[in-house]
Amino acid sequence: MAASTVLVVDDEKTLREAVAYELQQEGYRVVTAADGRQALESFRAERPDLVLLDLMLPELSGMEVCRIMRSESDVPIIMLTAKSSEIDKVVGLEVGADDYVTKPFSLRELLARVRAHLRRREAAPVGSGSAQTVPLGRVQVDLAGHRLTRDGAAVPLKPKAFELLAFLLRHQGQVFTREQLLEQVWGYGFAGETRTVDVHVHWLRAEIEELPHDPQLLQTVRGVGYVLRRPA
């Protein structure tokens, strides 16, 4: 079985080389890029299995690179950002990143996240469970086809958001904490990253709820987490 390819994009040479070395030690094939334009060229030429993408890049910003990559592929994208503000993290998720790591980060944590995303991608179920098309009012969820439709029209949904919806559908009525959802859907349980879950829940509500500000399907259980309840 061929080694997974990871594209590492960062304009800091020392960090880029350190991350690449650690990934290679773990058995991954690594491709690197130092700016946004080079990142897109490598992405299209190499077709990596996962991308580590710095937010602040010369030539083309990490945000724009992420947006373009996501429009062309559902490959997992983990953003590397030196910024700690919530707005930068949320914007990174909004343009299509699956996850983010704030600098300075431990290489051990970064490798754990890379392994988790690649493991979940390789093990993504093509169709577990009995019903493969699940109705949610006007919305139909095609679990096997990995697509969402509303009134018959396709609804674009970010890959990780669909994965979260599929997980909750397969565990209807069960309340999960944000930490549990991170572990089950993202594949890791690091504390302090639960904002990622909240952002994805916000996206899902915008697509599946009649009134996103008053959710009837994907509900918040105050002090605990989230639950998906289908109407009787």
Query: What six digits make up the tokens of 215?
Result: 């959710």
pTM: 0.68
Sheet containing strand 218-221, strands side by side: 176-177, 225-228, 218-221
Of 93, 69, 72, which Cα lies nearest the Cα of 81? 93
Q: How confident is the model at residue 129 (pLDDT cuts 50, 70, 90)?
A: very low
Rounded CA-CA distance 60/214 in Å is 39
Euclidean distance between the first and final Cα of the chain, in Å?
46
Q: How confident is the model at residue 124 (pLDDT cuts 50, 70, 90)?
A: low
Query: What six digits make up the tokens of 94?
Result: 């909004």
Strand 99-102 with 77-81, pairing: parallel
Rounded CA-CA distance 69/88 in Å is 18
**pLDDT tens-place string over residues 166-219:** 999 989 999 999 989 988 888 776 555 677 888 889 989 999 998 989 999 999
pLDDT attached to residue 205: 92
- Structural domains in the chain, sorted by start: 5-122 (3.40.50.2300), 133-228 (1.10.10.10)
Query: What six digits make up the tokens of 191?
Result: 């504390």
